[in-house]
Every structure is written in C-alpha cells, then in structure tokens.
Amino acid sequence: MNFSSDTAAPAHPSVLEAMMRANSGPAPSYGADKVTARVRAQLARVFETDDFDFWITPSGTAANALALSCFCPPIHSVICHQEAHIQMDERGAVEFFTGGGRLHLMPGEGAKLDHDLFAEYLLNYDPGFVHATPPAVLSLTNLTECGTAYSADEVARFAKRANLGGLAVHLDGARFGNALAHTGASPAQMSWQAGVDVLTLGLTKTGALSCDVVILFGQAKAKGKELRARAKRAGHMPAKMRFLAAQAEAMLEGGLWLDLSRHANAMAQKLAAVFREDSIELAWDVQGNEVFALLDPHDIDKLQEDGAAFYAEWPGGSSRFVCSWATTEAEIESVRETLKRPMRK
Amino acid sequence: MNFSSDTAAPAHPSVLEAMMRANSGPAPSYGADKVTARVRAQLARVFETDDFDFWITPSGTAANALALSCFCPPIHSVICHQEAHIQMDERGAVEFFTGGGRLHLMPGEGAKLDHDLFAEYLLNYDPGFVHATPPAVLSLTNLTECGTAYSADEVARFAKRANLGGLAVHLDGARFGNALAHTGASPAQMSWQAGVDVLTLGLTKTGALSCDVVILFGQAKAKGKELRARAKRAGHMPAKMRFLAAQAEAMLEGGLWLDLSRHANAMAQKLAAVFREDSIELAWDVQGNEVFALLDPHDIDKLQEDGAAFYAEWPGGSSRFVCSWATTEAEIESVRETLKRPMRK
Amino acid sequence: MNFSSDTAAPAHPSVLEAMMRANSGPAPSYGADKVTARVRAQLARVFETDDFDFWITPSGTAANALALSCFCPPIHSVICHQEAHIQMDERGAVEFFTGGGRLHLMPGEGAKLDHDLFAEYLLNYDPGFVHATPPAVLSLTNLTECGTAYSADEVARFAKRANLGGLAVHLDGARFGNALAHTGASPAQMSWQAGVDVLTLGLTKTGALSCDVVILFGQAKAKGKELRARAKRAGHMPAKMRFLAAQAEAMLEGGLWLDLSRHANAMAQKLAAVFREDSIELAWDVQGNEVFALLDPHDIDKLQEDGAAFYAEWPGGSSRFVCSWATTEAEIESVRETLKRPMRK
Amino acid sequence: MNFSSDTAAPAHPSVLEAMMRANSGPAPSYGADKVTARVRAQLARVFETDDFDFWITPSGTAANALALSCFCPPIHSVICHQEAHIQMDERGAVEFFTGGGRLHLMPGEGAKLDHDLFAEYLLNYDPGFVHATPPAVLSLTNLTECGTAYSADEVARFAKRANLGGLAVHLDGARFGNALAHTGASPAQMSWQAGVDVLTLGLTKTGALSCDVVILFGQAKAKGKELRARAKRAGHMPAKMRFLAAQAEAMLEGGLWLDLSRHANAMAQKLAAVFREDSIELAWDVQGNEVFALLDPHDIDKLQEDGAAFYAEWPGGSSRFVCSWATTEAEIESVRETLKRPMRK
C-alpha cells in the first residue's frame, strides 16, 4: 500500500530495457545521438506537428525552470497558482534560473487558477509602471496539485487571454498523461492547439526513471538554442544523453505513457470508490491519479498501522494518496480491508 | 577506432545491471533510499573516513558548479587554470551557480597551475581592496585537460598554500580514477589527506551512465545542507535518486572504477607507443587516458579516411585521442595499421 | 497643493548647503573622507551606541536590497507584508540582490503584519524540507505603506519571535522619522533595542536629496565588509562619497530630520482634520505623514481642477495624500477651500 | 599636489549651483522632471542626433554594468581589455548585473585592445559550441586605463569588426571628455558615428559630483525600457532624479565638460614635461589626463615627503598621476621643485 507519491514507484521495465538497448557502442555526446533523433520523430507523431523543438532533462524542476527562464526575463514575473509546484516544491528554482525573476501568485479553487481574477489582473496592472514586476509568462499546471484537471478548452481560454496581454504560456505537465487520460484531449489539443508555447512533458511520475521533456511549440522554437545553452550551464546536458532519450523513447513507444496514465487514473477512481463506500469525503473531485481524502484520525491510524504510505497531513487537512503505473488492485483492496477492520486496542 | 571522448563510450554493463536491480518496488524519493545509504558506506571505505557528506549529480558540470557555489560567494572568485573545464566547457556554470562569482584564470604548463605564480598572486593581492574580486576557492583539475596528473604531494602543496590564504580547495576529478591510476595515490591521499575540501568524483567518464559525486570532506561537511538545497533548486534532486546511487554503487563495488581507469590509462600508453613508433611527437606526457599527438595532415587524413574518431584540431595544434574503459587493443592496432599504410590517391 | 509624494518635495536647504561646504579641496574617495567619519559619530549619538556599522546609499531601494542581500542567502526567503515597498515598488530588487531569493508575503490590517499569523507560520514550516524556501529574514516597514506605525514594543515582539526562529530582522525605515515622531520612541528604542539587526534609515523622503543609510547593529556589524563589497558591485560606492555623507550630516545635525518629520506628521493631522470636518472617511488612522481619504468622485474632480496633486486611485479605493517637510498650512487650507466650494458646471 | 585620482577632486562649482537651482518647489519623481527633459535636449545637440535614449546614474560602475546587462545575456560574455575598469575595479558588477555573464579578457599594449587578436578571436570561436560562452558585446574604454586614447577611426574599426560578428559595442567613457580633447574628435564621431551602440558618458571624473550617463544610440534605443527597469531594481532610480539631471545640465552647458577635460589634459602635459625635464621616463604616451612615470625610489620619497598624493605602485612598476579640472599650475610647479631639491638626510 504505497500511495506516498508516483515518484516512489520504480521505473517501468520497458524504460530500463530501452536504456540497455541504447548502451551499445560509442555514440555522439550531448544529444547528437540516434536515440534522441528517434524521440524527435516520436514527439512529432504524438503532438501531430513538426513545428517544435525540445530538450530532455532529468527532473520536473529542471524542465520547469529551464522552460520558464527562456520566457521570463529577470525583470519580469511568472503568474501561477499559489499552490503550484514551482511555488511550493522547487526551492526557488524559477527565481534562480531567471536570474531573480519572480512568481506572481494567484488563488483559485482546487489549485486551478480563477479565470476572472486572472483576466482582471491583466486588465488592471500597468505595464509601464517601472516600479512593479510585470508578468511575462502564465504557468498552468495540468494535472493540478489538487489532482484536478483543466480541460483543453479551459487551457485555451487562459492562453488566449494571456496572449492578448503579451504573455507566453507554459504548461507544467508533470502529470500531463493523467490530465489527458481524464479529459480525453489529445496531446496536441492540450498543448499547442490550446495555445501552449512551452510544455513540461513529465514522464518521470508516469513511469520513466528520470525524464522530463521541455517542448517548445511554434514560434517558441526560436528559443531552442537558448534552451540548450541554459541547460548546459545548469548541468543539464549530460554527456551520455542517449540514456535520457531512451527513456522517452520507451515511454512514447506505442503510447505506453498514456496506458500507464490511464492505469494510474483508474486505480485512483477505485480508491476513491473505496473511500466513498466508507462515507469518507473527498476534498477534491478525482480527475487524475491523486485522491485527497478527509480521513478521521482513527482511519489514519489504522492505515498507518497496516503499513500504508501516504501524506496524512496535506495542507488543507486532507490526506493525499497518489496512484501510479505500479499501483495494484490488491493495494486498493488492502485499503478497503483496513478501513473496514475494527480499531486495535 | 572511437577516441573522440570517454563520454562517447557506453556505460559499463555492471552499471545498468545495478540500475535494473534497484528498480524493484517503491523507494523513498530524493535520496532517502537504501541504495544511497549503501553508497555512503562504500565512499567511507574508499576514502577511508566517515567524516564526509556527499551528493550525487548527473553531470560533471552540475557537480563542479554545485560544489563551487557552496564555497564561493557572489562577491568572490575561483582561481583555476585558464584551460580548466569550468572555464572552457561549462557555459558559465560557475558564474550562474555562484550568482555572479568570477573565475580568476592562471596559466601553467600542461594545464597544471604554476605553484610559484599562484603563491605570488596570493601574496600580492589586497584582500581589503573592495574594488577587486578576491579569491575564495582554488580549483584544481586532476587529471588535467592536457592529460597530465598532479601527484598527491603537488595537490597538498597547493592546498596548503591556499589554506594559508583562507581559500577552500576544490578538486575537479572528472577523471579522478585516471589520476589515481597514474600516480598510485589512494583516493584518500589525493583528496582530504592532501587538503581537498570538496571533490568532484567523476564516474561518468570512467564508465557510469551519468553519475558525478560531490564529496565534502571534514569541516566542509557543514555545507551539506546548503549543497542539497542548491541541488534541489538547480533541478539536481531527481525524484528517483536510487538510480543515480545505483550507478555509483556499481562503479565503486570491488574497485570497478579503478580497474576501468587503469584499463583506459593502459590503452592510452599503448596508443602513445604507436605514435612514438611512427616518430610522431606528443604534445604532453601521457599520464592518464588522453593522448595529444602532433600529427601531420597526411596522418590526420588517413585516420579519418579509416573511420577514426578524434579531435583533429585541439587548441595548441595537437590532435586529442581519449581512451575509455571500452577502448580495445584492436582499436589501437587499427591506428597503427592506418599510420603505416600509404596515402591513397 | 502637492501631496503626490514626499519624494516630490525638494531637498531641505540645509542639505544643499552642507554639500556646498563639503565641496572644497580634494578628499579621499569611496567613504574614507572626513564627512563620512563625522556621520559615524553623529549616528553613534543618535542611536546611543558605538556598536554598529553603516553605509550610505542614494535610494531606499538600494538600501533595502543591499541590507537584505547580506542576510538572505539565495536559497532562502524574506518574510514581509504583501503591500511592503520591497514587494510592490522595487522591481524585484531583493530577488536581484540576493541572487534569486524570494519574498514570502503575509497579510495584515493597515499594512502591518499580523503577529499571530507570523508566529503560526514560524511554528509550522519545516526548516528541513528541502523543497520549500525557508525564511531567513523578517522585514518590517515603519512607517507602513498605509501610513500606520508599529510601536517600539510591537517591533520588539516581532523581533523576539523572529530571533527565536533564527531569522534576522530588517526594518525598512524609509519614513523612520515619521514613525518615531508618532510613537515617541527614540531611534535606539525603535531599532537595536527592539531587536532590529539592520535598519534602512531613510532620509530622502524626510528632506535629503538622495540619502538612505543602511545601519548594521550589534552582531550584524560582522556583515560590514560584505555590505561594502555588495555596494561596490551594485554601483553604490560613488567615488565622491562625501556628498552622500554631507546630506546625512545636515539631516542629523541638531535633529533636523526629526523636526522635519514632526512637521510632516503635523501637516498630515491637519489635513486629516480637514477631511473629517467635511465628513470624509479615512481608510486608515493617520499615524505619520500620509492620509488615505475615501473621497467621492466629485471631491476628486474638484481637487484636481484646483491643481491638487495626489494619488486618486490608491489600491483599496482611497486617495493618498502625502505631506512632507515642505508642505505648508496654506496648502492644507487650499484643500479645505476646494472641498467647500460648489462643483463647477 | 593631489594627483591621486580625478575622483578625489571636488565638483565644479557650477554643478552645485545647478543643483541649488533645481531645488525649488515640487517636481515629478523618477526622471519625469523638467531638468531631465532639458538634459535630453542638450545631449541631442552635443551628440548631433535625436536618435538616442539615456539614463543618468551616480557612478561609472552603475553605468557600465547597467549598459552591459542590456546587451549581454547571462549565457554570453563581454570582450574587454584585461586591464579594463570593468575587470579590475568594479567588484564583478558586470557578472552581477548580467546574472552570471562573463568577461572575456584580451591583452593589448597600453590598455588598448589589439585589433588583430580581436579579429582573430572572432574568426575562430565557434558560435554554435554550446559548451563555451560566446561574446555578445565588445567593451572599449576611452580614455584607457593607461591614459592612452583610441582615435575615432580606431573605435570605428573595432566596432565594424564587432558588428560583423554580431556583437554590440559599448564604450566606457569614464574619461570620454579627455579622449575627445586629445583626439579632436567630436562626441558624435567618437560614439554613434563610429558604431558605438551604448556609451557610458562619464561626467563624475570630469567635474560633476556623481553623474555618469548611459546613452543608447540608434537601434539600441529599443533597450530604453529595459534599461529603466534594470536601473530601478538596482536602486539606480533615485526619487529626486532632478539632482542627477542638474549635474549633467551644468556640465554640458556651454561645453563646460570639454573645457574641464582640456584643462586636465593640459595639466597632464605640463606634468609630463616636468618629468621629461628631469629625464624621468614615462610608461605610456600621455594622451589624456593621466601620467605614468617611472620614478626612482628617491623621487618617490621626496614627492611623498612634500605631500604629493599619487599611486606610487601602479601595476607594471610606474607611478600614476592623475590631473583633474581642479589641478593647478602651482601643483605642477611644486612637483618640479620637489624633484629638483636634494634628498634630506
């Protein structure tokens, strides 16, 4: 019963097998290898476009911060939700990579930005007021930190408004596959077709070992050279790039990443059903692979006694359970049994 | 005949096997896993001390920049050789990670710093002159960029002088194993016993996939918490850390890293012998796994015609050949044959 | 009727006279001059201590950012009110000077931090959680952005709690004199005796030309050398420092700065009385030289027609009127007359 | 006999008088005042063009670093002479303001860059090599640190080559007037007509109190908004900007700055003559207001005994004497007398 995080799961076996296959003979360093070239072709198919550039990084923090640093000059800010991962969990990476740029935090239910507040802010701030730090980028997260999903239409609405205000649009897709699985949108619909300029395509949480891809769509491609330079000086251009590429290849091959996302989402729905069965309320609608349950202390104790791993004290008072590609029905069943059993003395 | 770089070589099979073994069941993220704990124990044995802290990164650039940023405040500088990797090949990573610190470049034969010049500089700069950027760290590289090695005594002499001047001592050991193999020094003798405060223990070029370890010795341990925080915000705290640790484990296990280093050095000696046989001069004494040969254009042409990969135009006019754990005697033999064959029309 | 800002006022004549006097013959550059030495002696008298170091800068933004950069490493944050000048009006100077540190914003009535929320935050954040950006400094502003004042006791209470949590305490005193004039506290009581480590002693708004002093008290003195180095590399070590020092000297001489502050506060009280007379509500209690009046559109129109300068649309819906050393009773009287006259067609 | 620096001189009386005049009544803050507007008109006349933007700062370090940060992204470098002020005397300001950009140092006789070396470097570096830090700006200094001057033609030749390589051209004119006075070039000829994109027009050393102007010519004007934002967040947008503007106004009025520069240069020539008379060799040809004399220890002793202030141990073994607008013929005469008098016992 490990629901602590999708990052606690191992990598999918296909990923390590692909790395094994890549480990044969010499290969050009720093991304000039053949595996990386094949990933390019895969991404083109997955996103239904040739009009993109990309770079593979070993962590979501690296991908987000590199992506944002290409679009947010140090004298500007990035608008994001006040619970966004870039605000809560990346130790000021955006401030570091942008050279002192700033996050401009906004509220919103279920970790989704409120469109009205966003539109109002863009309407009212004075871009010519030299004393303030005007926004240069809007960063959305899908799946959000509360496990909720923006539909492709919602993303498009935010992106349209952002573009009107001269902002670039970043999507933190650490759990992009989970958002797609829930909404039914295609990768293209949820990204460039919705107006996303730069996407963090997270594959680590989905089932890779260490692989989060920055994708620059359309005109944002012009930032490709800068992205590589910034990656290099951040230590994110490992010599043997082929092993990052092999992970992406394995995940994208045959839509594995989407299959794994669907599995994780399905497990989360089953887990939610187990909670509901027991009249346990959920803090947020389950729209991905995360379940936030309002457990009473007895239930928390019982689960912990039985060895379940989860965040018992998530901000807001709920307990967070994350399902992954490796979550089994047996684990869900164990939760059910634990909840049903009586308290021990 | 691939002598382009030791980073062009694949990873040693043991490394991927160890990663496979690590890929079983859930594990705590961010370095709290068991493999990382085992690496700590291995490092203690290898370096004959418990008085250290460490962090594993995926690239030498990351390791160097993180290490130096813990010791060089933004208002100070790092003394290094003018051909050091941190100056030539890391896209300003030190300037980035230190927040605008500076490299203070010094010359020296064979990419080794000149001790007299170094001592003279420390004697003459005015630490109280607020307009200049005084040094806070000395960074040595062993094996150097010219394939030469500092002996442990030489390192100790530099470190002693640096300490007198209040400087911390960093050793860029991207090819640390090669330097040990040549000098016969132990890891401890070449690092903390010689006065090194922080070591970049490079394992990627030696045979890992993507694994360079920052080790803080003795009092420098106090920087451990800062090192982790800086790693996190640089995107160098991948969730599934166990896979970085597994690489280190495989390389350190049974002294594999030293065996591989010795092999690479031996191949370089054989290659040097092939050149000498043909009366080809070497730019620098071969003290590691790199050979810098002063080839005439005909020889360069012939080698390239026969498919040899190497840097034909290294700064200074030589051609660089790098041997790795994967270099075979057959490859050396092929060089010999190519050099002996007549020019084609 | 210029109430736009205390920065719109000219400098007090004594300030320019002192600069004239300083402008005689050669003098050592960069702060080694005699005027600067005299300012040191004055500050010792004013703050009743010899245990301090200081640096004079030409702007409040410079003083705040330099001060905070000595205490907030790039991997940490500064706690401040969400309406603080460092957040609203300094274009990310703190993020810039700290090398990517962050402001952690907190709410509170009348631009004063809420002590309970502050204490609760310190209690609950996890200093060992490497993913977040823990606080290193508390920055208070006195007089606040709403023209309210912290008493010396209130400052002391915040400082005590901050110290318990290992935080340094900064006081942005852009309008320090106004806060002293209102509370009756002495400079010492409102600064080091209350636990303030580093003070921005603003003299520009009080009546100088361009002079804001960073003062390091007690143990914070150890940061003096770093402060100078940071000032130098920020371009805040002008060669002819004696002219910054002369301004400070003129302002501190005979308590001129406090006299001018008292005058500005008194004018603000008179202005507030004029508004109250006319049944105009004030957004905040007037505790310094700023008046925030809830004017109806007709009154705004009339004042603007008659040439009054003020911020008609301050955040929150009030209009901001700032009095300065140069504000005259006649100007207040003009406001009264304008408010009383009928609307024009 | 004060030859320590032109920054040790007082400000010219006209400068303080202009500040007095500016100190009357309220004025808009942050550069929106009338004095600043008049300076714009003056600069247009002086530089014979309307096609420029500008910002006034209080120090040469501020002006240089702000100027360069608008043209050198953090992943690039600034080419400059290895003895340039930005390298030797500004505490890493360029690295700070650019967010970790780098200075690329080049040698050259008399602190003037060697055109051949410069051209060769541009020819040979690989702009696509992601590991190195390619140049984005060429920074020349005129008058140089050795008191030598580039002719307008020399500047133009460098600028042309720089433009071909895609580099912007910065001129550090801390002693711009002295260079003009020596070469006879007009301000326009030595700046935008020669291909300079951004000029640091130094007036502080020339006779102002604290006033160095950044001027963006031609297309570089597009950086005006960024320059202001960077100035603001560096604390270089003092509220009462009119006092910086008043200094510039006084210096430019009637060509005062050029008169003062000519005076300083003339004094330097007289001083050089005094040395030559005494068979004292000069390290560099005197082309501005600085004289580098190769004094024997006896002469140094005698001068110091008689109270002369100068740098006795300038790098390279000479003694540096700087003349300013305030240097008198009597001071020169005193040097002559001292040199002629016998040693004391």
pLDDT tens digits, residue range D118-128? 999 999 999 88
Instruction: Give D136's contacts (C-beta < 8 A, 6+ positions apart).
Output: D71, D72, D73, D76, D77, D78, D101, D166, D167, D168
Strand positions, DSSP E, A116-228: 135-141, 168-173, 198-202, 212-217
Disruptive mutation site among C2, C233, C334 for chain D (greatest number of D CBs within 10 Å): C233
Q: Which of A254, A289, A313 is the last residue of a domain?
A: A254
Rounded to the nearest 5°, which phi and psi values hold at C47? -100, 5
The reply to whether C122 and C51 lie within a common domain is yes
Q: What is the DSSP string of B121-185?
A: HHHHS-TT-TTS--EEEEEEESS-TTS----HHHHHHHHHHHHHTT-EEEEEETTHHHHHHHH--
D228 and A30 in contact by Cβ < 8 A? no
The reply to whether D204 and D285 lie within a common domain is no
The reply to whether C303 and C232 lie within a common domain is no
The reply to whether B143 and B66 lie within a common domain is yes
Measured distance CA(D69)–CA(D56) in Å, rounded? 16
Is residue C151, in this structure, part of any structural domain at all?
Answer: yes
Q: What is the DSSP string of D90-142?
A: STTHHHHHHTS-EEEEE--GGGPPPHHHHHHHHHHS-TT-TTS--EEEEEEES
Among partner residues C99, C230, C232, which is closest to B131 by beta-carbon distance? C232
Tell me which chain B residue has its CA closest to the CA of residue A308.
B26
Query: Quick one: which of C345, C177, C167 has its CA closest to C255?
Result: C177
Is residue C2, in this structure, part of any structural domain at all?
Answer: no
Q: Which of A221, A254, A287 is the last residue of a domain?
A: A254
Residue C57: give its domain's CATH number: 3.40.640.10
Assess contact for A211 and A176: CB atoms under 8 A.
Answer: no
Is residue B3, in this structure, part of any structural domain at all?
Answer: no
Disruptive mutation site among B80, B91, B125 for chain D (greatest number of D CBs within 10 Å): B91
B149 has a pLDDT exceeding 90:
yes
**Any idea of the CA torsion for B287, B292, B294, B299, to the nearest 10 degrees?**
120
B29 has a pLDDT exceeding 80:
no
A interface residues, D as partner, C-beta within 8 Å: 30, 73-75, 99-100, 130-131, 226, 228-230, 232-233, 237
**Mean pLDDT within B248-262:** 98
**Any idea of the CA torsion for A176, A180, A185, A189, to the nearest 10 degrees?**
10
Q: Residues C16-53, buried b or exposed e (16+ Cβ, 10 A)?
A: bebbbebbeebbbbbbebebbebbeeebeebbebeebb
Among partner residues B63, B205, B239, which is closest to A59 by beta-carbon distance? B239
Q: Extract the residue ranges of chain C whose pLDDT is less than 50.
A: none
Question: Within a 13 Å sphere around the CA of C305, how many CA atoms are in the beta-carbon half?
Answer: 14
Enter the tokens of residue C171.
């006081």
D345 has a pLDDT exceeding 70:
no
- CA angle centred on C172, ends C167 and C176, rounded to 5°: 130
Among partner residues A88, A89, A132, which is closest to C91 by beta-carbon distance? A132
Mean pLDDT computed over every residue of chain D: 96
**Mean pLDDT within D11-39:** 91
C23 and D29 in contact by Cβ < 8 A? no
**Mean pLDDT within D315-340:** 95
Q: How many CB pairs under 8 A join C and D?
A: 159
Is residue B299, in this structure, part of any structural domain at all?
Answer: yes
Amino acid at B267: M
For D292-307, write each residue's pLDDT tens digit.
Answer: 999 999 999 999 999 9
Is residue C1, in this structure, part of any structural domain at all?
Answer: no
C interface residues, A as partner, C-beta within 8 Å: 74-75, 77, 88-92, 95-96, 98-103, 105, 130-133
pLDDT at position C345 is 66
What's the total number of domains in chain D? 2
**Mean pLDDT within B151-155:** 98
The reply to whether B317 and B197 lie within a common domain is no
Enter the tokens of residue D267.
């004094």
Helix axes D176-183, D256-277, angle to 10 degrees: 70
Query: Quick one: which of B314, B298, B313, B304 has its CA closest to B335?
Result: B304
Is residue D279, in this structure, part of any structural domain at all?
Answer: yes
Assess contact for B27 and B44: CB atoms under 8 A.
Answer: no
User: Which residues of chain A make contact with C90, given a CB cutoff of 8 A?
Assistant: 131
Confidence of residue D311 (pLDDT cuts 50, 70, 90): very high
Exposed, middle or buried: residue D49 (CB in 10 Å: 0-12, 13-18, 19+)?
middle
User: Which residues of chain B make contact with A23, given a CB cutoff of 8 A?
Assistant: 10-11, 13, 16, 209
Assess contact for A155 and A181: CB atoms under 8 A.
Answer: no
pLDDT at position B299 is 95
Is residue C30, in this structure, part of any structural domain at all?
Answer: yes
Residue with tokens 């890891």: B187
The reply to whether B139 and B277 lie within a common domain is no
Measured distance CA(D193)–CA(D10) in Å, rounded? 33
The reply to whether D103 and D144 lie within a common domain is yes
pLDDT at position A117 is 97
C96 and A74 in contact by Cβ < 8 A? yes
A51 has a pLDDT exceeding 70:
yes
Confidence of residue B345 (pLDDT cuts 50, 70, 90): low
Is residue C7, in this structure, part of any structural domain at all?
Answer: no
Tell me which chain C residue has its CA closest to the CA of residue D11.
C23
A229 and D130 in contact by Cβ < 8 A? yes
For A318-342, write each residue's pLDDT tens digit.
Answer: 999 999 999 999 999 999 999 999 9
Q: Which of B226, B254, B282 is the last residue of a domain?
A: B254
Closest-CA distance, B124 to chain A, in angstroms, reads 32
The reply to whether B158 and B299 lie within a common domain is no
Residue D311: give its domain's CATH number: 3.90.1150.10
The reply to whether D248 and D261 lie within a common domain is no
Q: What is the DSSP string of D56-82?
A: EESSHHHHHHHHHHTT--TTSEEEEET
Domain region containing D287:
256-340
The reply to whether B212 and B144 lie within a common domain is yes
Closest-CA distance, C186 to chain A, in angstroms, reads 32
The reply to whether C244 and C269 lie within a common domain is no
Enter the tokens of residue C158.
């915040």
Would you call the peptide bond into B216 cis, given omega within 30 degrees of 0 as the criterion?
no
**Mean pLDDT within A149-165:** 98
pLDDT at position B204 is 97
Assess contact for A287 and A143: CB atoms under 8 A.
Answer: yes
A228 and D74 in contact by Cβ < 8 A? no
**Mean pLDDT within D220-227:** 98
The reply to whether A168 and A267 lie within a common domain is no
User: Which residues of chain A make contact with B234, given a CB cutoff of 8 A?
Assistant: 62, 93, 96, 234-235
B313 has a pLDDT exceeding 90:
no
pLDDT at position A315 is 82
